[in-house]
Chain A
Amino acid sequence: MLSFDILLAGVINGLAAGAIYVLVAVGLTLIYGVLHIINFAHGSLLMLAMYGVYFLFRSAKLDPYMALPIVMAGSFVFGYLLYRLVIGRFSHGKDENILLITLGLSIIIDNAALFLFTGDTQTIDVPYAGEIVAIGAAFLPVAKLIAFVAALALCAALGLFMQRSDLGRAIRAVAKERQGARLVGIDVENVFAVSYGIGIACLGAAACLLMPSFYVSPSSGHAFVLIAFTTVVLGGMGSFLGALVGGFVIGITESLGGLLLGEQLGQIGISLIFILILLVRPTGLFGGGR
């Protein structure tokens, strides 16, 4: 039987991984909550942002944490334009069209990355890569601890932005009632594009926090697609609190699944949770009845 210490270490590791999932999922749930679309290109766009971090480090020797504002801003602009020029224009407002268009985008992005960057795995070599802190029974790389704290801070900032700022209020208004929002003078199409941009900016942040302890290859996005959807579905599509709780639950499930079932079979927990939630309670833990 596994000792309590090992389990505790597993939970702590899971929480650290979960923080990143939260950040990825928050972007996805925002896009779903406002636009009511499933952004299948989410994983591919994360991969693209990770390459952005990688090239900034390689060419400008920019530390990934220093690059955070730049990558976030760049991701926002990219996402905004992607919505304005492609997704919004080609979907004619049909949900299933958007699913297929974002699938098409992910095919294009993945294969363009394969074409331009080759299939090799790339890592960046930061000076603090080997540093480790002890938390209780767990030994956590500093990079993961930073990612944990920063991810939570960013989520808090996003929550505050959504609650307090005018733009946040406009986004929530559009999410609740499109027609009404249009009637009171909100530029709905612009809010859509901005929301998509913010969702992608969250991916930019996730990329900066991931790169010091992770690697990137054109297929990196795949690893996150199902995890992100599981997190969002578990928490309830469109719910921020859900994404927060869901991300941590998924992180811990993955970590403990790996401990109990081994590396290979351990991954099954996430997919099983996903299927069970969809079958039993598709509105998720915190989703309203839609």
Chain B
Amino acid sequence: MSRVGLLALGALAVACVLPHLLGSNYAVNVVTMILFTAFLGQSWNIAGGFAGQTSFGHVVFFGTGAYASTILHVSHGWSPWAGWIVAIGAGALVGLVIGVLSFRAGLRGSYFALITLAFAEVFRIVANSVEFTRGGLGLLIRADPRPENFQFRNPIWFYYLALALVLASLAIAFWLTRSRFGAQLAAIRENEDAARALGIDVLRAKTVCMTISGAMAGAGGTFYAQKYLYVDPSIAYGVEKSVEMLLVSMIGGAGTVFGPLVGAAMLMGLGEITRASSNTQGLSLIVYGVILIVIVAYLPDGVIGLFRRRSGERGAPRA
């Protein structure tokens, strides 16, 4: 077995026993949220990093997934597990629709960023206004910690679920670095017109990419709703979560397999440190804004790029 394979197996073994070593539920929760944030970041990274379609409204898929399973569960008595499948489908569908609409209209770069932001805003306003989401009050899921309800007395189970999500997302990202489809996305990211001239069906590739990305974020929505047992329009469709997804991916390394994981660990770690040292809000995000600017200016491959450059290893297909 290769060195990289052994390393991956080792990391997986550590990840499996980690929650038992941490001791406190609080620590388990923090690590769970790191994994979950990494998963959402990977969803952004599939579209924003690998395909270069910078979205400012990725929360729209997350929120739609959260609402889909929660409404089915609370108002129609569905099992959240069945709802989860619907949520993934709903996220994929929204990704498909937004992708088809925006890409057919030829929106790129900043324009694509703006229209995704506007779509998220439309969803937020609708969720705030209509009856079946209970508007601004939000939806409360009744606490009943049984596995069949997607609720667990021991937070370790959420940790393992988040770990499974991250592994699945890493597999998708890894596939993109090796597959023909991933190569097409990289070509589109680097030069869309050249990619089209080479015979790549640009519209189809970008739309498929958004659909995958939307399905992933939709899956994240159900996880979040079941973990906190609550959804409201600003959680589900607030711009903060869109920015968080973009940040962890950009800072860790957009278009790299492990970038979102590194970025999420940094963001959450920084958040914990600043929370411990002062009670004021916002400090960690100030630091993060600064890091974002430095990354954009000097490190297009993110923090991951630092290590890659040093070890001289050939990285993901990113110019």
Contacts and interface: CB of A to CB of B under 8 A. Distances in A.
A259 to B, nearest CB: 15
A178 interface: no
Contact of A278 (B105, B128, B286): B105
Contact of A265 (B113, B125, B296): B125
A267 B125 contact: yes
A28 to B, nearest CB: 12
Contacts of A108: 285-286, 289-290, 293
Interface in B81-133: 101-102, 105-107, 109-111, 113-115, 117-119, 121-122, 125-126, 128-129
Interface stretch (A98-106, A130-138, A202-210): A98-106
B317 interface: no
Contacts of A86: 293
Interface in B283-313: 283, 285-286, 288-290, 292-294, 296-297
A271 B118 contact: yes
Contact of A275 (B110, B115, B286, B290): B115
Contacts of A184: none
Interface string B207-223: 00000000000000000
Nearest to A100: B296
Contact of B282 (A92, A97, A111, A264): A111
A138 to B, nearest CB: 26
A101 B135 contact: no
A97 B110 CA distance: 10
Interface of A: 37-38, 86, 89-92, 95-97, 99-101, 103-108, 110-112, 114-115, 119, 218, 222, 226, 229-230, 233, 262, 264-265, 267-268, 271-272, 274-275, 278-280, 282
- Please classify how large the interface on chain B is, using the bins under 10, 10 to 19, 20 to 34, 35 or more: 35 or more
A103 to B, nearest CB: 7
B24 interface: no
B280 interface: yes
B38 interface: no
Contact of A104 (B114, B125, B292): B292
B18 to A, nearest CB: 30
B54 interface: yes
B129 A262 contact: yes
B111 A282 contact: yes
Contacts of A100: 54, 250, 292-293, 296
Top 9 closest pairs, chain A to chain B, by CB: A111-B282, A107-B289, A108-B289, A90-B297, A104-B292, A114-B282, A265-B129, A104-B293, A111-B285
A275 B118 contact: yes
Contact of A264 (B109, B117, B125, B250): B125
A107 B292 contact: yes
B113 A101 contact: no
Contacts of B105: 278-280, 282
B297 A91 contact: yes
Given A96-B109, A275-B118, A278-B115, A115 B280 contact: yes
